[in-house]
């Protein structure tokens, strides 16, 4: 397959999904459409970045602009995740007194979610997003590429993979407990996983699973940190005294996640793992 045909196919798939998901997101009957729309925006942003040397995009269309829209949908999605964790994972089994103590926090999360979703509606009905969709659809009708896009895809995959991976294993988050550095590493792992998942090379599938597990570990740690902040930021004063059972559960889960993450990061940073991974990227 030529690079041009592959890119047209992938952009078409993302744009079609974005259009199809919009009604479900705006209806807001369930959180999944919003989650899937964010995924499509991320995948498209990574695709446009990874294959930029082969693309000629219209003005106003770029990986940066697509990623920015995805980030603007992020707060509503993060609140959905926090509410789901609280109501379906943490609250069952808590004593009645702690459930009552959590009512103000649940009310606050619902209020914040309504405000965040109003911004989602504003964005998806706004001129910038609709213009972006229109320009992408126009490009699909008359796609423009650089001369590189006329080449076969497979021989160029190592270059596109290398551009995507960059300095992944040099990021400080692998050896750090600093929240910002861990968050940056999680975002980078997610970006790499999305980019590599676009590859037709089946040899990468086991590595994609490992990247996904690492991303999930960091995501769970991040969710716990956000939840702790929500507890201690006025939603629930004196959380240790008001919800001792809940705090004990959170502490135990955090310790378990840290243990799993340390094992995962050490495995990734070993020379044998990195060598095998790079060999897989080179085909």
* Closest residue by Cα to residue 178 from 222, 214, 217: 222
146 falls in which pLDDT band (50, 70, 90)? very high
State pLDDT tens for residues 242-280. Answer: 788 988 898 999 999 999 999 999 999 999 999 999 888
Residue 213 token pair? 């597990």
Q: How far apart are CA 85 and CA 81, in angstroms?
A: 6
> For the chain, what percent of residues have pLDDT higher than 90?
67
The mean per-residue pLDDT over the stretch 1-20 comes to 96
For the chain, how big is the Rg over CA atoms in Å? 21
Kindly list the distances between the CA atom of residue 185 and the CA atoms of 158, 223, 228, 239, in Å, as whole numbers in the listed order: 22, 15, 21, 29
User: What region, left, alpha or beta, does residue 234 occupy, with left being phi > 0 and alpha being psi -120 to 50 degrees?
Assistant: left
Contact 257, 228 (CB under 8 A): no
- Residue ranges per domain, the chain? 1-149, 153-283
pLDDT at 231: 78
pLDDT at 269: 97
CB 219: neighbour CB atoms within 10 A? 16
pLDDT at 230: 77
pLDDT at 236: 57
The mean per-residue pLDDT over the stretch 13-20 comes to 96
5 falls in which pLDDT band (50, 70, 90)? very high
Residue 112 token pair? 């914040």
The mean per-residue pLDDT over the stretch 219-235 comes to 80
pLDDT at 233: 67
Contact 66, 191 (CB under 8 A): no
Q: What is the mean pLDDT of the chain?
A: 91
- Helix (H), strand (E), coil (C) string for the chain: CEHHHHHHHHHHHHHHHHHHHHHHHHHCCCCHHHHHHHHHHHHHHHHHHHCHHHECCCCCCCHHHHHHHHHHCHHHHHHHHHHHHHHHHHCCCCCHHHHHHCHHHHHHHHHHHHHHHHHHHHHHCCHHHHHHHHHHHHHHHCCCECHHHHCECHHHHHHHHHHHHCCHHHCHHHHCCCHHHHHHHHHHHHHHHHHHHCCCCHHHHHHHHHHHHHHHHHHHHHHHHHHHHHHHHHHCCCHHHHCHHHHHHHHHHHHHHHHHHHHHHHHHHCHHHHHHHHHHHCC
Q: How far apart are CA 74 and CA 94, in angstroms?
A: 29
- The CATH H-level (homologous superfamily) assignment of domain 1-149 is CHAD domain (1.40.20.10)
pLDDT at 232: 73
202 or 24, greater pLDDT: 24
Q: How far apart are CA 158 and CA 113, in angstroms?
A: 42
Residue 234 has pLDDT above 60, yes or no: no
104 falls in which pLDDT band (50, 70, 90)? confident
State pLDDT tens for residues 167-210. Answer: 899 999 999 989 889 999 999 999 999 888 877 667 788 999 99
Q: Taking the alpha carbons of 5, 7, 10, 13 in that order, is the dihedral positive or negative?
A: negative
pLDDT at 53: 95
Residue 171 token pair? 């990021």
């Amino acid at each position: 397959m030529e690079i041009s045909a592959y890119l047209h196919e992938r952009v078409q798939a993302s744009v079609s999904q974005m259009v199809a998901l919009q009604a479900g997101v705006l209806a807001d009957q369930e959180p999944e459409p919003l989650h899937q729309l964010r995924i499509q925006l991320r995948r498209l942003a990574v695709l446009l970045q990874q294959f930029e040397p082969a693309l000629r995009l219209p003005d106003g269309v770029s990986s940066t602009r697509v990623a920015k829209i995805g980030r603007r949908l992020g707060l509503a999605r993060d609140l959905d995740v926090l509410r789901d964790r609280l109501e379906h994972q943490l609250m069952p089994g808590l004593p009645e007194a702690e459930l009552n103590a959590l009512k103000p926090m649940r009310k606050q999360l619902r209020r914040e979610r309504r405000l965040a979703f109003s911004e989602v509606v504003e964005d998806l009905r706004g001129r910038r997003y609709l213009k972006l969709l229109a320009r992408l659809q126009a490009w699909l009708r008359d796609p423009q590429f650089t001369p590189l896009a006329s080449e076969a895809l497979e021989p160029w995959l190592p270059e596109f993979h290398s551009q995507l991976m960059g300095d992944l294993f040099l990021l400080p988050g692998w050896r750090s407990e600093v929240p910002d550095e861990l968050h940056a590493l999680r975002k980078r792992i997610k970006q790499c996983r999305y980019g590599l998942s676009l590859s037709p090379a089946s040899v990468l599938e086991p590595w994609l699973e490992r990247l996904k597990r690492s991303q999930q570990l960091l995501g769970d740690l991040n969710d716990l940190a956000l939840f702790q902040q929500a507890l201690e930021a006025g939603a629930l004063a004196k959380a240790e005294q008001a919800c001792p059972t809940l705090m004990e559960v959170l502490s135990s889960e955090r310790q378990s996640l840290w243990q799993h993450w340390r094992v995962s990061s050490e495995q990734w940073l070993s020379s044998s793992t990195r060598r095998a991974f790079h060999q897989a990227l080179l085909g």
